[in-house]
Structure 1
């Protein structure tokens, strides 16, 4: 992954989603059409805190988020999600 040049606005985070599972526990290969959208990822960039909301999430954290959270982006042929810190459900 290349170093990203850019800045995230206050209250927002940029997340690299975890890859979707390729096989089930029993070894069955999952076709692309049946793969679940990942709900876990690693925080790559963090914006500044808002006046009324301190930033709890930091770069490098692994987070869980809602199935339809964030906006999908493609930067330098890599897929990312741009979301609000409020979309994060749990920090691992």
Structure 2
């Protein structure tokens, strides 16, 4: 976790830890990969935002801890310690997930 503290995304970037869907149910039934298609992740860190041409700051739309829906492709893979994370631009993330 100490390595994670050192990476602060630049501008409107968002650092996401992808959520790996379970491969079996609580009853022990194995699930095929097709049923676990939802591409989601948890926001770990966000950048400060970008500046408009007029100088005003546009904040990132997400905050740490948000569950987000990710595009099928894209993002930059980053390995910190033994964990893998992905960097996305704010506008590449499709939305937030609520329970």
Task: Please give the range of the TM-score, normalised by the shorter of the 2 chains.
Answer: 0.7 to 0.9
Q: Structure 1 stretches (4+) deviating beyond 6 angstroms?
A: none
Long gaps (5+) in structure 2: 53-57
Greater shift, 36-45 or 74-83, is seen at: 36-45
Pick the aligned partner of 1:28 from 27, 30, 41: 30
Q: Secondary structure at the match of 2:87?
A: strand
The TM-score normalised by the length of structure 1 is: 0.78
The number of residue pairs the alignment matches comes to 88
Query: How far, CA to CA, are the matches of 2:68 and 2:31 in structure 1?
Result: 26
* Counterpart for residue 16 of structure 1: 17
Pick the aligned partner of 2:59 from 51, 54, 73: 54
Long gaps (5+) in structure 1: none
Over the residues paired in the alignment, what is the CA RMSD in angstroms?
2.4
Greater Rg by CA = 2
Distance 1:37 1:72, change over 3 A: farther
The TM-score normalised by the length of structure 2 is: 0.74
* Counterpart for residue 71 of structure 1: 76
